Amino acid sequence: MENLLFNLDKYYEEMVSIRRYLHANPELSFEEVHTPKYIANFHRELGLEVREGVGGRGVIATLRGAKPGKTVALRADFDALPIQEENDLPYKSKIDGVMHACGHDGHTATLLILAKALNEIKEEICGNVVFIHQFAEEVLPGGAKPMIEDGCLEGVDVIFGTHLWAPIPLGEVHVKSGAIMAAPDMFEVTIYGKGGHGAEPHHAVDAIVLGAQYVTQLQTIISRKISPLKHAVITVGQFEAGKAYNIISEKAIIKGTVRTFDEEVRNQIERELEILLKSLCDSANATYEFTYTRGYPPVVNHPEETKLLAEIAKDVPGVNAVKECEPMMVGEDFAYYLKKVPGTFFITGAKNPEWDMAYPHHHPKFNFDERAMLIAAKTMGLATLKFLESYQK
Asked if residue 228 has a cis previous peptide bond (ω within 30° of 0), the answer is no
Distance CA(38)–CA(35), nearest Å, equals 5
The answer on whether 102 is annotated among ligand-binding residues is yes
Nearest to 173 by CA among 386, 324, 377: 324
Distance CA(7)–CA(44), nearest Å, equals 19
Asked if 343 contacts 158 with a C-beta cutoff of 8 angstroms, the reply is yes
The answer on whether 138 is annotated among ligand-binding residues is yes
Distance CA(94)–CA(101), nearest Å, equals 14
Q: CA-based angle 172:336:371, to the nearest 5? A: 25
Decide: residue 194, CB within 10 A, 0-12 exposed, 13-18 middle, 19+ buried. middle
Nearest to 209 by CA among 285, 273, 270, 272: 285
Nearest to 138 by CA among 110, 109, 163, 166: 163
DSSP for 288-310, please give it.
EEEEEE--PPPEEE-HHHHHHHH
The answer on whether 281 is annotated among ligand-binding residues is no
Between helix 104-119 and helix 34-46 the angle, nearest 10°, is 10
Q: Which residues are catalytic?
A: 79, 137
Nearest to 183 by CA among 134, 234, 237: 234
Nearest to 229 by CA among 265, 176, 203, 195: 265
By residue count, the chain amounts to: 393
> CA end-to-end span of the chain, whole Å?
18
237: enclosing H helix or E strand? strand 232-241
Sheet with 67-77, side-by-side order of all strands: 49-54, 58-64, 126-134, 67-77, 158-169, 343-351, 172-175, 321-324
The binding site consists of 102, 104, 138, 163, 362
The binding site for Mn(2+) consists of 102, 104, 138, 163, 362
